[in-house]
Amino acid sequence: MRTMKLIESGNPILREVAEEVIDFEEAGQILDELEVLMREQEGVGMAAPQVGISKKIAIAEGDDWTVELINPEITFYGDKVTIAQEGCLSLPDLYLWVPRYRKVRVEYFDREGNSKRLRARGLLALSIQHEVDHLDGILIDKRGVTSDALTSLETSTEGANTSKADKTDSSVASGSNSPPGLRLHRHHDRHTKSV
């Protein structure tokens, strides 16, 4: 068995769309090792590209659930979006406010190759969206904003649509990656963990 390590943040594998899994036996071994590394790093999720394996394999964790995802696809998004601070083990020391759907449904395969479906909410839903993003080569720096940018965004959305919004960071909201119907709602109570 190989010994897994997180790859450097500049490694292009992190920005690539991962390959579909065909060999489920190998996927099971990768999941075992990913979980060990995730516990070591005290993360609440981990995806194979983070260790340099460009395959659609990830673990997502919520308050009560840990789910192993192979070839996952989010097939339903609830209509509510929450913005919370997120970190990523592949981008050390970067914490951004990232909008995520509060509820999602994900379809995936387990390590036996069975087709599964799961409805998730809260932290698990967040973690699933973060991990599925990893498998699509999307990191939080393409989704989130800094605290400063969020503050100007909140200010600008409270008033009329002035040019102030245009002065905020170019990646802020209204960008193509922001989910529609974003309602700004900060979560201060969550202990920020990296995924």
CB of 38 or CB of 195, closer to Zn ion? 195
Identity of the amino acid at 166: D
Break the chain down into helix, strand, coil percent, rounded to 5. Answer: 30, 30, 40
Between 91 and 182, CB nearer to Zn ion:
91
Q: Choosing from 61, 68, 86, 131, which is the catalytic residue? A: 131
| # chain residues binding Zn ion, by CB under 5 A | 2
Q: Tell me whether residue 158 is one of the annotated catalytic residues.
A: no
Smallest gap, in angstroms, from Cβ of residue 25 to Zn ion? 26
The smaller minimum CB distance to Zn ion, of residues 14 and 27, is found at: 14
Q: Could you count the other beta carbons within 10 Å of the beta carbon of residue 30?
A: 24
Dump the DSSP string for 43-55: -SEEEGGGGT--B
At its nearest, how many Å lie between Zn ion and the CB of residue 149? 20
Give which of 56, 23, 81, 27 is closest to 133, Cα–Cα.
56
Shortest Å distance, C-beta 86 to Zn ion: 8
Residues between 85 and 104 that touch Zn ion (CB under 5 A):
88
Q: How far is CA 34 from CA 65, 122, 126, in A?
A: 16, 23, 19
Q: Is residue 48 a contact residue for Zn ion (CB under 5 A)?
A: no
Q: How many whole angstroms separate alpha carbon 195 and alpha carbon 192?
A: 10
Q: Which segment (17-25, 72-80, 83-91, 94-102) binds Zn ion by CB under 5 A? A: 83-91
Residues found near Zn ion in the complex (CB under 5 A): 88, 195
Show which residues are catalytic.
131
